[in-house]
């Protein structure tokens, strides 16, 4: 893998945590901040349901990419046929979203079959990484964002782990999500030796991000008690007067347990309609009432950027 190419994979133990939205946010932010040239940024959709691709393309454009063979599946098939003169850029579809140019590699309709074939080789992760290397991904692009399917099918997460150098773990502030995430991380720990890393060094590649937090709830209170930023407490809440709230205490304990395993950004994105619609510019240009959300969003994306580029400014 090129030492100059930065590759970050977005993973999650649960579905519906906003992982894909954050991946798109990061891509748009990198281009808007001119941290990465749009020509040097690639978004790889490693989800068989094509959630990211369909978020940025209409049906006609997505169908056109399938017709032209501009998909990850076609890249894999062609390289298996020995068509090594073609590069990954030949399979990429350019799109414009919110005035920002983005390059996407859609998954294709038979990604499940490709993943099965990779798994049958006995070394799926290295095989997938070699495919990206041979097709020029790590030399043609300065920054690659991978959006994988949730951990319901471990194979997609594992492939994204091998293809990337840094990982963003997205979860909601709930006991179930935090417990699922802990179980996922325990299962992923066994791959540390494949990278020649100790377990602590390998887990340092992961960054936790809490998303979709609702202000004015017990969950928000728990996050504030743990020094997260971005949500507002329940009305009249005082931790000294509510020491026996079992739900809050259990959530705090669960998240604190995760923070002993991986680093977390201290910035939490709230449950917000604008975010769910991907209206990133509306957040950034908002008035005074939106300043808190703007600052939280900016700081969170800076944390992800710092993590992906191995800088040490994670809060």
Encode pLDDT of 37-88 as tens digits.
999 999 999 999 999 999 999 999 999 999 999 999 999 999 988 877 789 9
Task: Please give the pLDDT value at position 293.
Answer: 82
Show me where the domains of the chain are located.
6-308
Q: Residue 313 burial by CB count (10 A; 0-12/13-18/19+): exposed, middle or buried?
A: exposed
Q: Considering only 22-36, 103-117, 289-303, which range has the smallest mean pLDDT? A: 289-303
CATH topology for 6-308 is Rossmann fold (3.40.50)
Task: Give the chain's end-to-end CA distance (angstroms, integer).
Answer: 28
H helix or E strand, kind and range, residue 263: strand 263-264
Arithmetic mean of pLDDT over the chain: 89
For residue range 119-177, list pLDDT tens digits in order.
999 999 999 999 999 999 999 999 999 999 999 999 999 999 999 999 999 999 999 99
Decide if 254 contacts 243 (C-beta within 8 A). no
What torsion do the CA atoms of 260, 264, 268, 271 make, to the nearest 10 degrees?
-80
- Work out the pLDDT band at 268, boundaries 50, 70, 90: very high
**Token pair for residue 311?**
């800088």
**What is the reported pTM?**
0.91
Q: Which long-range contacts (CB under 8 A, 24 or more apart) does 57-61 make?
A: 57/93, 57/95, 57/104, 57/106, 61/93, 61/95
Q: Any residues with CB less than 8 A from the CB of 284 and at least 6 apart, and which? A: 294, 297, 298
């Amino acid at each position: 893998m090129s030492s100059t190419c930065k590759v970050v994979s977005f993973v999650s133990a649960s579905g519906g945590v906003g992982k894909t939205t954050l991946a798109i946010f990061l891509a748009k932010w990198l281009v808007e901040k001119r941290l990465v040239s749009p020509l040097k940024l690639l978004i790889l959709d490693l989800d068989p349901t094509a959630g990211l691709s369909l978020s940025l393309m209409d049906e006609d454009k997505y169908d056109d990419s399938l017709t032209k063979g501009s998909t990850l599946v076609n890249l894999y098939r062609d390289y298996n046929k020995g068509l090594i003169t073609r590069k990954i850029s030949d399979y990429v579809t350019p799109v414009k979203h919110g005035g920002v140019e983005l390059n996407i590699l859609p998954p294709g309709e038979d990604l499940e079959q490709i993943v099965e074939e990779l798994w049958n080789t006995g070394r799926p992760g290295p095989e997938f990484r070699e495919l990206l290397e041979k097709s020029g991904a790590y030399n043609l692009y300065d920054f690659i964002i991978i959006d994988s399917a949730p951990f319901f099918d471990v194979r997609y997460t594992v492939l994204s782990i091998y293809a990337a150098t840094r990982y963003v773990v997205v979860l909601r502030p709930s006991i179930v999500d935090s417990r699922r995430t802990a179980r996922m991380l325990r299962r992923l720990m066994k791959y540390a030796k494949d990278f020649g890393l100790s377990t602590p060094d390998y887990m340092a590649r992961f960054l936790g991000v809490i998303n979709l937090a609702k202000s004015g709830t017990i969950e928000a209170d728990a996050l504030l008690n743990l020094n997260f930023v971005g949500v507002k407490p329940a009305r009249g809440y005082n931790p000294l007067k509510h020491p026996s709230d079992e739900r809050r205490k259990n959530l705090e304990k669960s998240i604190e347990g995760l923070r002993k395993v991986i680093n977390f950004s201290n910035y939490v994105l709230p449950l917000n309609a604008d975010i769910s619609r991907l209206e990133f510019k509306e957040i950034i240009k908002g008035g005074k009432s939106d300043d808190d959300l703007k600052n939280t969003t900016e700081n969170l994306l800076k944390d992800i950027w710092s993590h992906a580029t191995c800088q040490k400014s994670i809060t």
